Chain A
Amino acid sequence: MTEQTPVQNSMKAGTWKKSSCKMCIHSCNTRVHVTEAGVINKIEGDPDSPANMGRLCPKGNAAIMRHYDPARFKTPLKRTNPQKGPGIDPMWQPISWEEAMETTIRELKKSVDEDPRKLLPSIADFQKLYLWAWPLVVGNSNYFSTAGSFCGGGYHPMNGFIHSTFAAANDVNYCNYWINNGSGDGFSSHLHTAAQAFHVANARVERNMRVVCVEPRLSIGGAKAEEWVPIKPASDRHFALGMCHVLIEEGLCDYESLKKDTNAPYLVGDDGYFIRDKDGKIYVWDGKDNKAKAFDDKSIGEFSIEGSYEVEGKACKPSFQRFKDILKDCTPEQMSEVTTVPAETIRRIAREFSEAAEIGNNITIEGRTLPLRPAGYNYYRGAHAHKYSSQSNHAFKLVNMLVGSIDVPGGHVGATLDDQKIDNGHVAEGDSGQLLGTPHQLGPHPGFSFPPDNMDLMSYFPLGVHPGHLNVEVWKNPEKFNLEFTPDVMLICHSNPIWSLPGNRGDWFDIMRSMRFIVSIDIVPNDTNCFADIILPGHDSLESWNMTMIEPPHTEGMCLRQPMTEPLYDTRSEEDIFNDISEGLGVLEVWNSVLNIVNGFEESPNLKLELDQKHGEKEIARRKGLNWNGKDLDWYMEHGHSVTPRRPDKWYKPWDGMRLLFYIEDIVRERDGLKKAMEAAEVPIRNEWHWEDYQPLPTPVLEPVLRDNGDYDLYAITFKDIQLNFGESLSNPWIKDIVYRDPVHTALQLNTKTAAAKGLAEGDLVLVESQYGKIYGRLGLTEGIHPETIGVSNSLSRMMSQNAGVPYGGGHFNDMLPADLENTDACSGQCESVCRVKLTKLDHIPDELKGEGNLYEFSDGKAMQ
């Protein structure tokens, strides 16, 4: 037989090179095949990676289509059409890099020289997190993006309080009872999807791990779960509190762990503060001697976690008792009324959870005896992204803490974002033997300022992540918020806030239009950069260098990205661009010192960037690799990564000997600190500030969206799945080819019986209206959704933009969400992600939404094929 020229791409003549994926914010390890002619024709998971074991999600498989996307920005561009808006052609004119940079630097300098606060940065490349810090070099702490609003305004600070980490995941190595509440972890989204899905599937099949999914819509996880518990949107905290009630009432907790490993015994006064002795040590109640003693008193015979006491003349209770008092109003029956989950289900799941936790059981790992608690309550955005996000986050953590499953084998474990050095730990001891809570996982808080230095009011959120959605309310009411400056330039870097921000699109367009100058570093046209005045085209992930570790749930280590080909177009790296801007603004040295801090080079003096030089992406990647494990770039270029399973000493109970924050006194302290600062500065809005959002323990307060809302008889939720995980996917032809054939992503999801009761049928066109905004769409009926819910896939939420490759839908889901202070968690800055809506049947879709680019037409075309 004659040897034929292969037709399959991976078998053609060429070379494999290792790299890392960037189709979402995480970094699965890849190998990339480049033909002899230099064409990238196959990307696979790196079979040698202990993270994703050679596997990739659909997005990772589709990276080639981003690389060769004809819509990519090919040269620097200058706008020639002064009209700005969605779907309006900017009439780009190609210009030289010299002209583009000169204009950019001149325009940025003009505003920054006047007042550094006039700059609105929107920098969101998560794999080059150090770029986020750039605004600091000009003394700017504005933030025009959504990481806080839509990722984890309440989530990340709470992980910082509980685990001292950025993220958290159930420990798939040992978990046997996996609750997923409003989260796709292990199935369809969030942390290293393909990697996590692999390990979770193995646990389910090989170890019979039981999965319980609590969520309004039957997601992929719900479909795979042993049990789907449909729940009314925004009532997840109540489900968790109902579980806590059962665990405590029925004595199903890990009392030993509560007494020894948490501050549950610490005595809390009625003012919310711990009772301290004259040395500042926190009191506990010794049940044996029946008296209060300092927490570290060696003579304590029994840590009381219940009861009411009086110490130094102050009435007090152990924090556990404080929680128990709250839970009086959280019986499964009461919580059932809020959640619609039957009380018996709440009770049963709490019992199953506690039983699965094997309280009292231990395991020895690498010579350490650790509690084995193979039960974890995992959650994410669907469950926590509500007005009372901090309380919700805390409630979910407490379910775990009650059975002793925080940071132990099989339980719910904190996952660091980036350890920077292989031996770096992430915990420190705080006050009175407690774990030091580290709510600011992405960098220090800018500090209180009045008048506010930040248009998103970050100054007033000492515990939050930037509430980017508030930019619009402050911008519209500068007097009310005493805004002294009017931002007029915007620096955008791989960020699409106009797609991701909640609130009325029209208002956001107005902000964009009000800018004197907008520069955008990006790869493809999108909803936001169509407002830019200058486009600075960046390399894509197959043409660039990077070194990163992004919150992997079960592995750690640095992942290299290396160029597979020369840049296809006249593009530059972000580092080169920021270096030139910094130089132009005279802050290059500051920029280098910031880079040294945020990359951890300060700790390795030999790796410190020379302050007067410009360091490119390759050099920074090299030093990050060296900083991790001392291996130089050539080692990484061969191996692709230094990923290993998480080290048990750093992964399990790294805080051994300290106490977890069952009760978070810092929340009370920060509240009072802010109150004092606001009083002192006489901030006019201080009296409308939602002080009650600051709670050291979660309460069953109803989310505003759950309160009676007249005609708006349904809840609208939005969701993504693994094909659309994280950023832009729908300009990618391969992703479109699978997404717009999936019934879940081609119509608004409504329960069959709800539809019947409303006289609605499959395929009906409807108007969905909240009190804030509206969308149009076509109904798809399903049994897999809570009867009071309408589910809107993100694939149906795209708008007309200059990227014709993205089919636009009937409006944007986020338009229906409030972007105001009223619906923002004053503690964390998290905004509400659910809204109340009503449906109206229509005869036809409005004319302005008709056309070939409309996604309903598009998916119809797919359905016909």
Chain B
Amino acid sequence: MTRYGMVFDVKRCIGCNACTVACKQENSLPDGVFFTRTLSAEIGEYPNVSRTYLPTICNHCEDAPCEKVCPSGATYTRDDGIVMVDGEKCIGCGSCAVACPYDMRTQIEETQITNGLFGDGNLTPFEEQGYSRFECGTFTKCDFCSERVDGGLDPACVATCPTDARVFGDLDDPDSKVSKLIRDRMGRQPLPEKNTRPKVYYID
């Protein structure tokens, strides 16, 4: 059985957020909407200080709290483990957003769509061809680029990552790159104490 997951190699990540922009590009995301974000945190004191870059994305949890709390059935999990949101069914109650420990749910607000990326109230041809996927008021999130994955491609963020800090693959296949990385470099899930069983792992 295929069970898709992702590994973030924190040692490789340079915090450039190319992933973030590639995602916005692939998914026609309006201003201020992100399916993935790469965060930074300073650690240590001068001069023994460094900065960690931390890619974040929907963790497609095995025990997805967003799915559990969703009253409308809009959130569901595909057989391959990708947690999806059906925008047609979402009522915009926000339960998922407050239930996600990772802050990975975003509401599409009408003004975000109508103002346009350039904020002048006009949509570019790019936006015109892209925004129809969104229903205003609904909550949305990363779906691991499910259509690209179905088409045999890596998610957009993975494909563009200049340093290969993002690896996508089948967690159930012991020979997949993700499985090997998790095994060999002690992959850790984010906020494991939240008991959501993320399918995203971090290695350093």
Q: Which residues of A contact B (CB under 8 A)?
A: 6-12, 35, 37, 39-45, 47, 52, 54-58, 60-62, 64-65, 68-71, 187-188, 193-195, 197-198, 200-202, 204-205, 218, 220, 222-224, 228, 230, 721-723, 733-735, 737-738, 742-744, 751-753, 782-785, 787, 805, 862, 865
Q: How many A-B residue pairs have CB under 8 A?
A: 188
State whether A8 touches B27 (Cβ < 8 A).
yes
State whether A734 touches B15 (Cβ < 8 A).
no
What residues of A have a CB within 8 angstroms of the CB of B15 in the complex?
220, 223
From A70, A204, A230, contact of B124 by CB (8 A)? A70
What residues of A have a CB within 8 angstroms of the CB of B132 in the complex?
7
State whether B165 touches A223 (Cβ < 8 A).
no
What residues of B have a CB within 8 angstroms of the CB of A9 in the complex?
25-28, 129-130
From A11, A68, A201, contact of B14 by CB (8 A)? A201
Chain A nearest CB from B101 CB (Å) reads 20
What residues of A have a CB within 8 angstroms of the CB of B47 in the complex?
228, 230
Tell me whether A55 and B9 are in contact in the complex, defined as CB-CB below 8 angstroms, given that A68-B125, A220-B16, A223-B53 are known contacts.
no
Chain B nearest CB from A183 CB (Å) reads 14
Tell me whether A197 and B162 are in contact in the complex, defined as CB-CB below 8 angstroms, given that A204-B11, A205-B11 are known contacts.
yes
Tell me whether A201 and B164 are in contact in the complex, defined as CB-CB below 8 angstroms, given that A7-B147, A187-B14 are known contacts.
yes
Tell me whether A58 and B28 are in contact in the complex, defined as CB-CB below 8 angstroms, given that A11-B151, A188-B16 are known contacts.
no
Chain B nearest CB from A472 CB (Å) reads 34
From B26, B53, B129, B163, contact of A198 by CB (8 A)? B163
What residues of A have a CB within 8 angstroms of the CB of B165 in the complex?
201
State whether A61 touches B51 (Cβ < 8 A).
no
State whether B18 touches A223 (Cβ < 8 A).
no
What residues of B have a CB within 8 angstroms of the CB of A752 in the complex?
46
CB-CB nearest in chain B for A737:
B31
A-B contact pairs, 7 of them (CB 8 A): A8-B147, A52-B162, A56-B162, A205-B11, A222-B51, A737-B32, A784-B51
State whether B117 touches A58 (Cβ < 8 A).
no
From B21, B147, B148, contact of A735 by CB (8 A)? B21
State whether A57 touches B148 (Cβ < 8 A).
no
What residues of B have a CB within 8 angstroms of the CB of A71 in the complex?
118
Tell me whether A41 and B126 are in contact in the complex, defined as CB-CB below 8 angstroms, given that A9-B25, A197-B14 are known contacts.
yes
State whether B25 touches A64 (Cβ < 8 A).
yes
CB-CB nearest in chain B for A733:
B117
Contact residues of A: prevailing secondary structure: mixed
Chain A nearest CB from B40 CB (Å) reads 7
What residues of B have a CB within 8 angstroms of the CB of A61 in the complex?
18, 21-22, 25, 160
Give the docked Cα–Cα distance between A197 and B160 (Å): 12
Give the docked Cα–Cα distance between A194 and B129 (Å): 28
What residues of A have a CB within 8 angstroms of the CB of B161 in the complex?
55
Tell me whether A194 and B12 are in contact in the complex, defined as CB-CB below 8 angstroms, given that A69-B118, A783-B45, A865-B32 are known contacts.
no
From B11, B147, B160, contact of A11 by CB (8 A)? B147
Give a binary string over B63-95; 1 marks a CB under 8 Å from any A CB, 0 the rest.
Answer: 000000000000000000000000000000000
Q: What are the 4 tightest A-B residue pairs by CB atom distance, in nearest-first order?
A: A201-B163, A68-B124, A223-B51, A7-B133
Give a binary string over B141-172; 1 marks a CB under 8 Å from any A CB, 0 the rest.
Answer: 00001011001010010011111110000000
Tell me whether A218 and B9 are in contact in the complex, defined as CB-CB below 8 angstroms, given that A58-B18, A64-B25, A70-B122 are known contacts.
no
Chain B nearest CB from A63 CB (Å) reads 9
Give the docked Cα–Cα distance between A742 and B42 (Å): 12
Give the docked Cα–Cα distance between A224 and B165 (Å): 13
How many residues of B are counted as interface, with CB atoms below 8 angstroms from the partner's CB atoms? 56
Tell me whether A37 and B117 are in contact in the complex, defined as CB-CB below 8 angstroms, given that A6-B147, A61-B22 are known contacts.
no
Chain A nearest CB from B126 CB (Å) reads 5
What residues of B have a CB within 8 angstroms of the CB of A37 in the complex?
129
Tell me whether A228 and B28 are in contact in the complex, defined as CB-CB below 8 angstroms, given that A8-B145, A41-B126, A201-B164 are known contacts.
no
Tell me whether A55 and B162 are in contact in the complex, defined as CB-CB below 8 angstroms, given that A69-B118, A70-B118, A228-B47 are known contacts.
yes
Chain A nearest CB from B133 CB (Å) reads 4
Chain B nearest CB from A337 CB (Å) reads 17
B1 within 8 A of A: no
Chain A nearest CB from B51 CB (Å) reads 4
From A62, A218, A723, contact of B49 by CB (8 A)? A218
State whether B126 touches A58 (Cβ < 8 A).
no
CB-CB nearest in chain B for A57:
B18
What residues of B have a CB within 8 angstroms of the CB of A64 in the complex?
25, 126
Q: Which residues of B contact A (CB under 8 A)?
A: 9, 11-12, 14-18, 20-22, 24-28, 31-32, 34, 40, 42, 44-47, 49-53, 117-120, 122, 124-126, 128-130, 132-133, 145, 147-148, 151, 153, 156, 159-165
From B14, B25, B49, contact of A220 by CB (8 A)? B14
CB-CB nearest in chain A for B150:
A11
What residues of B have a CB within 8 angstroms of the CB of A742 in the complex?
17, 40
State whether A57 touches B162 (Cβ < 8 A).
yes
What residues of A have a CB within 8 angstroms of the CB of B20 in the complex?
58, 737-738
What residues of B have a CB within 8 angstroms of the CB of A224 in the complex?
11, 14
State whether B164 touches A10 (Cβ < 8 A).
no
Chain A nearest CB from B77 CB (Å) reads 16
Tell me whether A784 and B22 are in contact in the complex, defined as CB-CB below 8 angstroms, given that A58-B16, A187-B14 are known contacts.
no
State whether A10 touches B11 (Cβ < 8 A).
no
From A6, A722, A785, contact of B16 by CB (8 A)? A722
What residues of B have a CB within 8 angstroms of the CB of A70 in the complex?
118, 120, 122, 124
What residues of A have a CB within 8 angstroms of the CB of B129 in the complex?
9, 12, 35, 37, 39, 41
Chain A nearest CB from B59 CB (Å) reads 20
Tell me whether A193 and B162 are in contact in the complex, defined as CB-CB below 8 angstroms, given that A65-B117, A805-B118 are known contacts.
yes
Give the docked Cα–Cα distance between A230 and B34 (Å): 34
Chain A nearest CB from B140 CB (Å) reads 11
Give the docked Cα–Cα distance between A805 and B40 (Å): 26
Give the docked Cα–Cα distance between A272 and B120 (Å): 64
What residues of A have a CB within 8 angstroms of the CB of B9 in the complex?
205
State whether B31 touches A783 (Cβ < 8 A).
no
Chain B nearest CB from A232 CB (Å) reads 12
Give the docked Cα–Cα distance between A40 and B160 (Å): 17
14 additional contacts, CB 8 Å, given A40-B126, A197-B162, A218-B50?
A: A11-B148, A37-B129, A41-B25, A42-B25, A60-B18, A197-B14, A198-B162, A201-B12, A220-B53, A222-B51, A723-B17, A733-B119, A734-B25, A783-B49
What residues of A have a CB within 8 angstroms of the CB of B32 in the complex?
737, 862, 865
Chain B nearest CB from A348 CB (Å) reads 14
Chain B nearest CB from A857 CB (Å) reads 13
What residues of B have a CB within 8 angstroms of the CB of A223 in the complex?
14-15, 40, 50-53
What residues of B have a CB within 8 angstroms of the CB of A220 in the complex?
14-16, 51, 53
State whether B46 touches A783 (Cβ < 8 A).
yes
Chain A nearest CB from B42 CB (Å) reads 6
What residues of B have a CB within 8 angstroms of the CB of A69 in the complex?
118
State whether A68 touches B25 (Cβ < 8 A).
no
Tell me whether A787 and B46 are in contact in the complex, defined as CB-CB below 8 angstroms, given that A70-B118, A218-B51, A223-B52 are known contacts.
yes
CB-CB nearest in chain B for A741:
B37
CB-CB nearest in chain B for A4:
B147
Chain A nearest CB from B134 CB (Å) reads 9
What residues of B have a CB within 8 angstroms of the CB of A188 in the complex?
14, 16
What residues of A have a CB within 8 angstroms of the CB of B46 in the complex?
230, 751-753, 783-785, 787
CB-CB nearest in chain A for B47:
A230
From A7, A733, A738, contact of B118 by CB (8 A)? A733
Tell me whether A197 and B21 are in contact in the complex, defined as CB-CB below 8 angstroms, given that A7-B133, A218-B51, A224-B14 are known contacts.
no
Give the docked Cα–Cα distance between A118 and B49 (Å): 53
State whether B24 touches A734 (Cβ < 8 A).
yes
State whether B49 touches A57 (Cβ < 8 A).
no
Chain A nearest CB from B119 CB (Å) reads 8
State whether B160 touches A45 (Cβ < 8 A).
yes
State whether A734 touches B49 (Cβ < 8 A).
no
CB-CB nearest in chain A for B9:
A205
* Best-buried of A8, A57, A222, A738 by chain B (most CB within 10 Å): A8
CB-CB nearest in chain A for B11:
A205
State whether A228 touches B26 (Cβ < 8 A).
no
CB-CB nearest in chain A for B125:
A39
